[in-house]
Amino acid sequence: MKHRIAYLTTEFPGQTHIFLWREYQALKELGLDIFLVATRRPPANIKSHTWSKEAEQQTSYLLPLSLGDYVWGFFDILKAGPGVWANISTSILKAEDVSISEKLRLLATAFVATKVVRLSQLEGGEHIHCTTCANAANLAMFASMLSVAPLSYSLSLLGPRLETYGSNQKNKWKYASFGLFQSIQLLKDARKKLAGNLPDRVAFAPVGVNLDTMRRENRYVPWQNSQVCRLYSCGRLNPVKGYKYVIEAVEILSKKGFDVSLEIAGEDEQGGTGYRKVVEQLIEEKELGKRIKLLGAVSEERNKQGYSNAHVYVMGSLDEAAGAVAAMEAMAMEVPVVMPDVGATSELIESGKDGLLVNPKESGELADAIEKVLRNPDLAIQLGANGRQKIAAKFHHRISAEVIAKFIRSDSTI
C-alpha cells in the first residue's frame, strides 16, 4: 500500500539543505509518495543551489499566512471542538521547560498548524516527517492533534545536541510515531533526557552524501613544496563553526613560510549582513585578505569544485553532531579532513585513519595537523581513500531514507 507523506522542514531551500534534498530524493526513489512543506522561503542570498528553483516549485509554504489562512484557521479551530482544545491546552500548560511567553507562541503555532492540516487534507497526506525537532516539530504535533483524519508524525534530530532545538522537547517526542538520530551519542543523550517520552521506535540513521555525484573526476594529488597550499572550508557563517580558529591557523602557517590560500564557502543566516561582517573584520585585522576568500553561499557544483582543488579540507567547529555534512562530502571526495574533536565527530572520523582530529579552539593544533598532512603525501592519500570508504559504509544519503521508509511501511496507523 502506498502512503502519502508530508516532508516538513524549515526555511527551504537554504544553503545547507543539500542533505535534505538528497533525503527527499532518496525517499522518492524508494517509492514513497511524498510532498514538500516548509515554514517559509529563505533569504534570496542563500538560495545557492541549481535545484533551488525546482525545490521551491515543489514546496508549499506555511508563512506568511494569507487572509484566507486566518479565516480558515479560525473555522478549523472552532470545528476541532472542546476535546481537541483541551488536549492542546493541556500539552502547552503542562510543558515543563516552557516560559509563559513561549506558551503564548505555542498557541500561535497551533493556529499555523491548521494550515498544515489543510495542506495534508488537500494532498491526501497521512503522515508528516519533520526534519527537525525545533519549532516545526510543534507544528507537526499540533497538526496531528487537530486533524480529524488520522495524521501521525515523526522527527529527526540532526544535532549538534537536543538543546539546540528549543523547548517543549518532551511533548514533541512524546506524541511522535518514531524518531531518527544523526549520531549514536545524540540517541543516548535523548534516552536520558527524554526518558519515558521517546516513541517506541527510534534509530541511529545519519543523513549523508550521494556518492554517485560526490566523487572525483581526477585523482587526488598531494601538496608539493613548489605549490600554493590550497585549503577549503564549507559551512554557514556562524560562530559555532569556529572560523576564527581556521583563520588563525592560516596565519600560523603563513608565518611558517607556507604559501597558503583558503576558500570559505557559506553565508550567514541573514544573507551576508550578520556574522559575515565579523569574519571579514578578522581577516582584515590579520592582513589575510590576499590569502582568504569568502565565497558566500555556493551551489553543490561549486562546492564540489572546491573539494576537488583542495589539498586539505579544514573546519574549526565548536560543536557538531557526527561531523558536518560538508566534512562527509570532503571525505567522499577523498580530501584529507582536519577538524576539532567535538560533539560526535569521532563517530565520523577515526583520527589518524580517515582524518585528523584536534582539540577545539586550538588554532596551533589545527595548523600543526594541516602541516602534518601537507608534509606527508602518503598520509594525505591514505586519509582521503579511507575517508571515502567510511562514507560509503556508514554515511551515504540513502541510510536515513531507508529507515524512514521502513518505519512508515510498518506503521499500522498510517
163 found inside a domain: yes
Nearest to 413 by CA among 49, 78, 1, 65: 1
Q: Are residue 55 and residue 179 in the same domain, yes or no?
A: yes
Average pLDDT over residues 192-210: 95
Structural domain includes residue 215: no
Higher pLDDT pick, 96 / 25: 25
Q: Give residue 1's pLDDT.
A: 55
Q: Are residues 234 and 136 in the same domain?
A: no
Residues 338 and 194 in one domain: no
> Residues with Cβ < 8 Å from 372, sequence gap 6 or more?
356, 379
Q: Give dist(CA 408, CA 76) in Å, integer.
A: 27
Question: Do 15 and 123 fall within a single domain?
Answer: yes
pLDDT of 248 reads: 98
Q: Do 292 and 268 sit in the same domain of this protein? A: yes
> Is the per-residue pLDDT at 65 higher than 80?
yes
For residue 216, being part of any structural domain is answered with no
**72 within domain boundaries:** yes
Query: How many CA atoms, within 13 angstroms, populate the side-chain half-sphere of residue 51?
Result: 18
* pLDDT on residue 2: 67
**CA 155, CA 250: separation in Å to the nearest integer?**
39
Asked if the model's pLDDT at residue 412 lies above 70, the reply is no
Confidence of residue 47 (pLDDT cuts 50, 70, 90): confident
- Residue by residue, what is the 3-state secondary structure of the chain? CCCEEEEEECCCCCCCCHHHHHHHHHHHHCCCEEEEEECCCCCHHHCCCCCHHHHHHHEEECCCCCHHHHHHHHHHHHHHCHHHHHHHHHHHHCCCCCCHHHHHHHHHHHHHHHHHHHHHHHHCCCEEEECCCCHHHHHHHHHHHHCCCCCEEEEEECCCCHHHHCCCHHHHHHCCCEEEECCHHHHHHHHHHCCCCCCCEEEECCCCECCCCCCCCCCCCCCCCCCCEEEEEECCCCHHHCHHHHHHHHHHHHHCCCCEEEEEEECCCCCCCCCHHHHHHHHHHCCCCCCEEEEECCCHHHHHHHHHHCCEEECCCCCCCCCCHHHHHHHHCCCCEEEECCCCHHHCCCCCCCCEEECCCCHHHHHHHHHHHHHCHHHHHHHHHHHHHHHHHHCECHHHHHHHHHHHHCCCCC
Which residues sit opposite 157 in a β-bridge?
181
240 and 385 together in one domain: yes
* pLDDT score recorded for residue 156: 97
Q: In this structure, is residue 217 part of a structural domain? A: no
Q: Are residues 22 and 160 in the same domain?
A: yes
The rounded distance, in Å, linking the Cα atoms of 412 and 304 is 42
* pLDDT tier at 364, thresholds 50, 70, 90: very high
The reply to whether 197 and 242 lie within a common domain is no
Q: Mean pLDDT over all residues of the chain?
A: 94
Cell numbers given for 300: 553543490
Q: Per-residue pLDDT for 62 more than 60? A: yes
Question: Mean per-residue pLDDT for 367-381?
Answer: 98
pTM metric for this prediction: 0.91
CA distance 189 to 175: 19
Residue in the block written with cell 549523508: 208
Burial class from Cβ neighbours inside 10 Å (0-12, 13-18, 19+) for residue 117 reads: buried
* CATH number of the domain that residue 324 is part of: 3.40.50.2000
What distance in Å separates the CA atoms of residue 240 and residue 244, rounded to the nearest whole number? 10
Among 36-40, 156-160, 305-309, 330-334, which is the least confidently predicted range? 156-160
Q: Are residue 191 and residue 233 in the same domain, yes or no?
A: no
Summarised one tens digit per residue, pLDDT across range 97-127 is 899 999 999 999 999 999 999 999 999 999 9
**Total structural domains within the chain:** 2
CA distance 334 to 392: 12
Same domain as 152, residue 114: yes
Average pLDDT estimate for 388-414: 91
Question: In what side-by-side order are the strands of the sheet with 4-9?
Answer: 59-61, 33-38, 4-9, 127-130, 152-157, 178-181, 201-204
Confidence of residue 413 (pLDDT cuts 50, 70, 90): low
Segment 204-214, tens digit of pLDDT: 999 999 999 99
Q: Are residues 297 and 189 in the same domain?
A: no
Longest dimension (CA), the chain: 76
In a domain, 260, yes or no: yes
Task: Report the pLDDT averaged over residues 369-396.
Answer: 97
Residue 80 counted as domain residue: yes
Taking alpha carbons only, the member of 121, 125, 130 closest to residue 2 is: 125
Residue numbers of the domain that contains 27:
4-207+397-409
Q: Is residue 142 part of a domain?
A: yes
Indicate whether 141 pLDDT > 80: yes
Range name among 130-144, 155-169, 273-287, 350-364 with the lowest pLDDT average: 155-169
The mean per-residue pLDDT over the stretch 131-137 comes to 96
Q: Given this model, what pLDDT does residue 284 score?
A: 97
In this structure, the answer to whether residues 198 and 249 fall within a common structural domain is: no
Q: Do 157 and 202 meet the contact criterion of CB atoms below 8 Å apart?
A: no
pLDDT digits (tens, 9 = 90+) for 167-192: 999 999 999 999 999 999 999 999 99
Region 255-276 average pLDDT: 95
